[in-house]
Structure 1
Amino acid sequence: MARTFAVLGASNTGKSTLVDRMCALEGQPQPAAQPGELRVAGFTHLGDDWQAIDCPGSIELLHVSADALLAADIAVICVGPDPAAAILASPYLHLVEAAGTPAILFVNRIDEAQGRVRDIVAALQDYARHPIILRQIPIVEDGQVTGSVDLVSERAWHYREGEPSQLIEIPAAVSAREHEARGELLEHLSEFDDWLLEELIEDRVPPNDAVFALCARALGENRMLPALIGSAGHGNGIVRMMKALRHETPAPETLRTRLAEQTTTDEPLLAAVFASANRKHLGKTLLLRALAPLAAGQPLGGRAAGQLTPADPRDSRHLDTVPEGTIVTAVKSDHLAAGKIATATALVDAPAWHAPHPPMLQRLLLATNDRDTVKLSGALATVAEGDGGLNVTQDPETGNALAGLQGPLHMRLLRQRLKDVFSIDVEEQPTAAAYRETISKPQETAYRHKKQTGGAGQFADVKLTVAPAERGAGFVFAEVVKGGSVPKNYIPAVEQGARDALDTGPLGFPVVDVAVTLSDGMAHAVDSSEMAFRIAGRQGVREALKAAAPVLLQPVFRVAIHAPAAFTGSLGPLVSSHSGQVLGFDSDPDAKGWEIFQALVPGAALPPLANDIRAATQGVGWYDAAFDHYEELHGKAADRVVQERTREPA
């Protein structure tokens, strides 16, 4: 039965190197990952079958790490050897805690550490609700890390480049620190076990086997985060990591139980569909992990599963059976979708923790070749099926495809996939803020539409009052016609004409918050028609809008900025620099060490604000925004917006 671990963490923490080193322990090299995608590396170690899911590191691809946790028994979070790097690790700590996935921290590149490991752990603890328990300490000689001491077995190892580490006696210089660190380890573990607590109170030394078993139980119950050290680039600490995984990774049925508790179905869960990709000449491929034994052609998600092949792209065998816990590739299974849990009869939505952050980058996408315009829409829909961080809609003003993405890297990956898989080159354009206009004073107007071209003509006469309405009212129409001067069957046409006039106002933007009242008019027995009154209503309102002191309205959004508490102080000036209004901040209930900063921000400031938040928070901060209201914009700022609008091509 294959067990699975996901390797995640920030960029440049050595995740892929760690996976490669694990696979190389018994000489099983694996192909490299595709940019921005998961890599499944299958290998054996000491007779056990393993599957490592190697995740991309950019914070813009955090949703891909969430995909991996749908299929992982345990997570390995790679972190850098600097306490300051804890901030970069915090999104991954929050993700595994939200998912309920047991996790091990691997402090990589320990040979580059300039400070103490305990300081690294303390910095990480600021962002983790689970206690982080250090399981190893480094051996430092002449300022260089030359080995490590295991705090459970109390055995020391000397690192050797390109060779297995050598067992040595614990150096005298490290003995005192080892004794102190082991005491802290046992003290933490005693919080999970009364027997160990009694042993410590009675000043008895617990046997190592019992301590190892307690470590495995506490990790399996997801009550702590053990921390190991090493250097994947030099092959140091790899065997120790594999030993921890071998003895402490929960069995696959634990994942099935966890997902069953987090979803809303009573049916047995058969598979977690955790990734999807489109390959040229092959079509849609899916990665799924069997949560129960599967057979080719059995019902999965309401229909028979298509072909099942090994997850290794180098192996194209068709599988008749799939053991529980095994990851496979499914083709010709278009009814399945990534981010779903499959039962025999249905596809169940992934748990709430799997949902990605809202997109922070909005871009209009246009096919470079006009012949690909229709093809682009289908291609984007197909890519979005397997990319949870991508949101594709249609821009209401231009009709072009509107893509919501996690950032510039995500945008580059999308463009490359469209080119490589669908042979579509696209160009991107920024979106414009949804400005509106209204009027600031009432205006009465009379308009007569009269046209004679031979035969029946067109005639309609209306008297209208156009006035400001309450903010947020939209469009209000009323009629106070007396004596039937405007026949009732023509009044709806006047209303429709008034609506037509609001599509584009004198400043060039849609008009909102206007009340139009029809008070009088005149009709002709022969020449009047609905069309004539619609034209009269439209033209009359247009003339009134020009004379009613039009003003520009800018959209204002309520923005919740999620960021580490260390950066909260810099967010106030940042929001103010974008003409925003600070509302306050509170602790983030879902992310230890983070806060939610609330503000009101003009819509035009959102794109640059996203970049500035990333820059001010070492790349990890993000926001979600919801439209709140429109407010008037005056002066040079309004003039500039109107001028830019008039320069736009018709």
Structure 2
Amino acid sequence: MGETTFSHEARARGPRLIALAGPFQSGKTTLLESILAHASAIPKQGSVADGSSVGDASPEARAHKMSVESNVASVDYMGDRYSFIDLPGSVEFAHEAKNILPVVDAAIVVCEADERKIPALQLTLRQLEELGVPHLLFLNKIDDASIDMRDALSILQPASRTPLLMRQIPIWSNGVAVGFIDLALERAFVYREHAPSEVIEIPKGEAALEKEARYSMLERLADYDDALMEELISDIEPPRDQVFDDLTKELRAGLVAPVFIGSAARGAGVTRLLKALRHEGPGIADTRARLGVAEGGPPLARILRTIHTSHGGKLSVARVLRGALADGQTVVSAHGEDRVSGLSRVMGANISKTNEAKEGDLVALGRLEHAHTGDTVVADGRTEVAKLATRAPIPDPVHALALSVKDRKDEMRLAAAMAKLVDEDPSIVFVHDQEMSQIKLYGQGEMHLRVALERLQSRFGVAVDVSKPTVAYRETIRHKVTVRGRHKKQSGGHGQFGDVVLEIAPRGRGEGFAFAERVHGGAVPKQYFSSVEAGCQDAMSHGPLGFPVVDVEAVLTDGSYHTVDSSDMAFRTAARIGMSEALGKAEPILLEPVLAVDIFVPSEAMSRATGLVSGRRGQIMGFGPRESWEGWDKLEALIPEAEMDNLIVELRSATAGAGFFQARFDHLAELVGKQAREIVSAHAKEPARLAG
């Protein structure tokens, strides 16, 4: 079949960037493979299952058979250039999409009419809607479905605030989808395995259904076109070019989200999908307008992803939003000035040199050491850089591990390697907790951190052991006591003498440490007051239970001194001795940190979420509908930090991967009984580690 042309609005010009988004295991990587095969960019369609796909080419993706980072591939289709970015479907790797989606021209949301995946689909669609990115849906695996399209639409629509527009309906034969009817073209097609579909006459048994579905499509379009509405009311069949004009304008304006059907694995429906993108999809000019980037001015690009290669150094995958970039060109970002050292095309795991980067192109820029993912780089004009610096906010971590290198000589290499991994994925947080003497790694889930550690070993040769991070327990006292602290030492020459009487009392929770003096008659000279205070704080760094002491008041009431042997150090030592004795006598108690946790889940999972909280010594503070999120609830709870381990794993298991939480420190709470004794005992067995 030759290319069919219409008189509708001119198609977008220049290279286009399309995101493939959607829930986990919806078939995005398979669709990318099918697109590449249809456009003859690869000899034949590969498979994710057998590890022959262009996407998911990293060792980690191959091992886990899932996307763990975005994958880029470019094709030439019917004289136009397209770059596709396959985004991970798992929420654990979703942060990468936040820097990519703002600069794509459109998104294909790959989905299924499966109620279990609707919450995850809603997360994807909400992000696109908030960014104003035009998008269409590809209802995948139609060959495995047997659902009426009206039912499918009723399942999918609650996930989308944008009205969904059914563009195609399937042709069924013995319960199997063997083709489809395009409602805009009013033509029927029969699927051919990994080949363009064949045009046929609309089957007589499908004619009535086609007319009904087409009228529903036109009614939706008429919501934004008064002339079309008048034609429908008057029973006038609108011209085909008018229908395509409306489809184009309303898709580009984000007023509707067209729904196409097909099977990525079989290559079914892919040709019509590509032709719809070609004729109706927006281009770089539309994207530039949405981002507020002026038409004229120096070359400008946005960095979508950072890759540290073993031989080529740092690569910044960027979309050229304006002008053209050249090798050797100097560019400015919000963090400094760099010189582009090489231009490359990216095709899955393969990187090849190129001579140019035109407006709309997706290219890798070599060795931009100051620029990071999400940054805007401009060939000139720092004012514009400042205005356009819009890196996506980094999500709060929800999972943590403590690390220790297996080989001590790798300690320095660990920090350098993690710095590169964090540059590639800013949602990873790597810290050295001095208080707990632990190296900690924070991220978006168990798989997220597992993949990071696999990369740490495979790419940088650093092997680590992992454990549960230590909780920052504290202790305080119940009673008021008075003690005398005395330090006397004679060792030839000047001796050491300090003598203090301290009154130690508990304070309110969260009030911290306070020091005062009520000394009369010069029993302790004023010049030593600060040393006494410092000595008290020295003792509080390690209380009788083995933890830092909080919420205590120390009052210096009396003491004595020696005109020759007294000194700041002597009084500091005397105060430390007295404070240590007082803390042991004042009935010390253990305190554990408690977090305020906001849990967000699909409404049907609320009972499971409350069970998770109750099973972790949590206290439910309130719950109700999540604001402006249909079908979602919010649960507010207080949960001890010690009970947070693997909460995100269990929460996602209970919500088909869609649930998440936000946590922050709230208060310290008393912990008594067997659990407190076990914590103190375990802590006492690790003095060497805690001493660093």
1:295 has 2:326 as partner = yes
Contact 2:181 2:210 in 1 (8 A): yes
2:565 match: secondary structure = coil
Q: 2:556 aligns to what?
A: 518
1:471 pairs, out of 498, 501, 509, with 509
Structure 2 residue ranges without an equivalent (≥5): 1-13, 43-52, 62-67
Kindly state the Cα deviation for residue 348 of structure 1 after the two structures are TM-superposed: 5.0
Kindly state the Cα deviation for residue 91 of structure 1 after the two structures are TM-superposed: 1.8
Kindly state the Cα deviation for residue 65 of structure 1 after the two structures are TM-superposed: 2.3
What is the alpha-carbon distance in structure 2 between the residues aligned to residue 353 and residue 86 of structure 1?
Answer: 28
1:571 has 2:609 as partner = yes
Q: 2:161 aligns to what?
A: 129
Contact 2:75 2:82 in 1 (8 A): yes
Contact 2:99 2:391 in 1 (8 A): no
2:107 pairs, out of 62, 67, 75, with 75
- Over residues 603-625 of structure 1, what are the superposed CA-to-partner deviations in whole Å (9 max), with x where a residue is unaligned? 11112322221111111111110
What is the alpha-carbon distance in structure 2 between the residues aligned to residue 118 and residue 305 of structure 1?
Answer: 55
1:141 pairs, out of 173, 177, 180, with 173
2:346 match: secondary structure = coil
Q: 2:50 aligns to what?
A: none
What is the alpha-carbon distance in structure 1 between the residues aligned to residue 552 and residue 388 of structure 2?
Answer: 45
Contact 1:459 1:528 in 2 (8 A): yes
What is the alpha-carbon distance in structure 2 between the residues aligned to residue 12 and residue 585 of structure 1?
Answer: 31
What is the alpha-carbon distance in structure 1 between the residues aligned to residue 152 and residue 493 of structure 2?
Answer: 90
Contact 1:95 1:353 in 2 (8 A): no
Kindly state the Cα deviation for residue 540 of structure 1 after the two structures are TM-superposed: 0.6
Change in Cα spacing, 1:557 to 1:276, as seen in structure 2 (3 Å) is: same
2:277 match: secondary structure = helix
Moved more, 361-370 or 500-509: 361-370
What is the alpha-carbon distance in structure 2 between the residues aligned to residue 483 and residue 3 of structure 1?
Answer: 85
Q: 1:204 aligns to what?
A: 236
1:489 has 2:542 as partner = no
What is the alpha-carbon distance in structure 2 between the residues aligned to residue 480 and residue 523 of structure 1?
Answer: 16
Structure 1 letter corresponding to 2:367: K
Change in Cα spacing, 1:350 to 1:551, as seen in structure 2 (3 Å) is: farther
What is the alpha-carbon distance in structure 1 between the residues aligned to residue 153 and residue 224 of structure 2?
Answer: 20
Structure 2 letter corresponding to 1:303: E
Change in Cα spacing, 1:338 to 1:9, as seen in structure 2 (3 Å) is: same
Structure 2 letter corresponding to 1:312: V
1:56 pairs, out of 88, 94, 119, with 88
Contact 1:138 1:145 in 2 (8 A): yes
Contact 1:481 1:519 in 2 (8 A): yes
- State how 1:588-599 maps to structure 2 within 5 Å: 588-589=626-627, 591-599=629-637
Kindly state the Cα deviation for residue 267 of structure 1 after the two structures are TM-superposed: 8.6
- State how 1:212-361 maps to structure 2 within 5 Å: 212-260=244-292, 270-293=300-323, 294-296=325-327, 297-301=329-333, 302-312=336-346, 314=350, 316-319=352-355, 321-343=356-378, 344-346=380-382, 347=385, 354-361=392-399
Kindly state the Cα deviation for residue 351 of structure 1 after the two structures are TM-superposed: 7.9
Structure 2 letter corresponding to 1:295: A
- Over residues 101-126 of structure 1, what are the superposed CA-to-partner deviations in whole Å (9 max), with x where a residue is unaligned? 11111111111114333333322221
Kindly state the Cα deviation for residue 81 of structure 1 after the two structures are TM-superposed: 4.2
Kindly state the Cα deviation for residue 268 of structure 1 after the two structures are TM-superposed: 7.2
Structure 2 letter corresponding to 1:166: E
Moved more, 416-425 or 329-338: 416-425
TM-score (norm 1): 0.95
Kindly state the Cα deviation for residue 590 of structure 1 after the two structures are TM-superposed: 6.0
- State how 1:341-490 maps to structure 2 within 5 Å: 341-343=376-378, 344-346=380-382, 347=385, 354-490=392-528
Aligned-residue sequence identity (percent) comes to: 38
Q: 2:6 aligns to what?
A: none
2:400 match: secondary structure = strand
What is the alpha-carbon distance in structure 1 between the residues aligned to residue 260 and residue 126 of structure 2?
Answer: 19
Q: 1:19 aligns to what?
A: 32
Kindly state the Cα deviation for residue 511 of structure 1 after the two structures are TM-superposed: 0.7
Kindly state the Cα deviation for residue 80 of structure 1 after the two structures are TM-superposed: 2.4
What is the alpha-carbon distance in structure 2 between the residues aligned to residue 342 and residue 570 of structure 1?
Answer: 46
Structure 1 letter corresponding to 2:138: F
Contact 1:38 1:64 in 2 (8 A): yes
Q: 2:98 aligns to what?
A: 66
What is the alpha-carbon distance in structure 1 between the residues aligned to residue 145 and residue 39 of structure 2?
Answer: 29
What is the alpha-carbon distance in structure 2 between the residues aligned to residue 649 and residue 177 of structure 1?
Answer: 76
Change in Cα spacing, 1:529 to 1:552, as seen in structure 2 (3 Å) is: same
Change in Cα spacing, 1:234 to 1:318, as seen in structure 2 (3 Å) is: closer
- Over residues 229-266 of structure 1, what are the superposed CA-to-partner deviations in whole Å (9 max), with x where a residue is unaligned? 100111100001101111122121222222238x9xx9
Moved more, 170-179 or 279-288: 170-179
What is the alpha-carbon distance in structure 1 between the residues aligned to residue 539 and residue 387 of structure 2?
Answer: 45
Change in Cα spacing, 1:349 to 1:335, as seen in structure 2 (3 Å) is: farther
What is the alpha-carbon distance in structure 2 between the residues aligned to residue 374 and residue 70 of structure 1?
Answer: 37
- Over residues 256-298 of structure 1, what are the superposed CA-to-partner deviations in whole Å (9 max), with x where a residue is unaligned? 222238x9xx997811101001111222111001011223314
Kindly state the Cα deviation for residue 341 of structure 1 after the two structures are TM-superposed: 2.1
Q: 2:65 aligns to what?
A: none
Change in Cα spacing, 1:174 to 1:355, as seen in structure 2 (3 Å) is: farther
Contact 2:374 2:391 in 1 (8 A): no
TM-score (norm 2): 0.89
What is the alpha-carbon distance in structure 1 between the residues aligned to residue 628 and residue 316 of structure 2?
Answer: 31
Contact 1:135 1:226 in 2 (8 A): yes
Structure 1 residue ranges without an equivalent (≥5): none
What is the alpha-carbon distance in structure 2 between the residues aligned to residue 605 and residue 622 of structure 1?
Answer: 16
What is the alpha-carbon distance in structure 2 between the residues aligned to residue 624 and residue 349 of structure 1?
Answer: 30
Q: 1:190 aligns to what?
A: 222
Structure 1 letter corresponding to 2:332: L
Structure 1 letter corresponding to 2:194: G
1:42 has 2:109 as partner = no
Q: 2:20 aligns to what?
A: 7
1:88 match: secondary structure = helix
What is the alpha-carbon distance in structure 2 between the residues aligned to residue 393 and residue 269 of structure 1?
Answer: 37
1:85 match: secondary structure = helix
Moved more, 137-146 or 303-312: 303-312
Give the ranges of 4+ consecutive aligned residues of structure 1 lying more than 4 Å apart after TM superposition.
266-269, 345-353
What is the alpha-carbon distance in structure 2 between the residues aligned to residue 623 and residue 40 of structure 1?
Answer: 30
What is the alpha-carbon distance in structure 2 between the residues aligned to residue 124 and residue 648 of structure 1?
Answer: 54
Change in Cα spacing, 1:546 to 1:341, as seen in structure 2 (3 Å) is: same
Moved more, 347-356 or 591-600: 347-356
Q: 2:202 aligns to what?
A: 170
1:24 match: secondary structure = helix
Contact 1:361 1:607 in 2 (8 A): yes
2:594 match: secondary structure = strand
What is the RMSD of the two structures over their aligned residues, measured on CA atoms?
2.1
Moved more, 448-457 or 323-332: 448-457
Kindly state the Cα deviation for residue 167 of structure 1 after the two structures are TM-superposed: 1.1
Kindly state the Cα deviation for residue 378 of structure 1 after the two structures are TM-superposed: 2.2
2:436 match: secondary structure = coil
2:487 match: secondary structure = strand
1:281 match: secondary structure = coil
2:353 match: secondary structure = coil
Moved more, 466-475 or 297-306: 297-306
Contact 2:375 2:391 in 1 (8 A): no
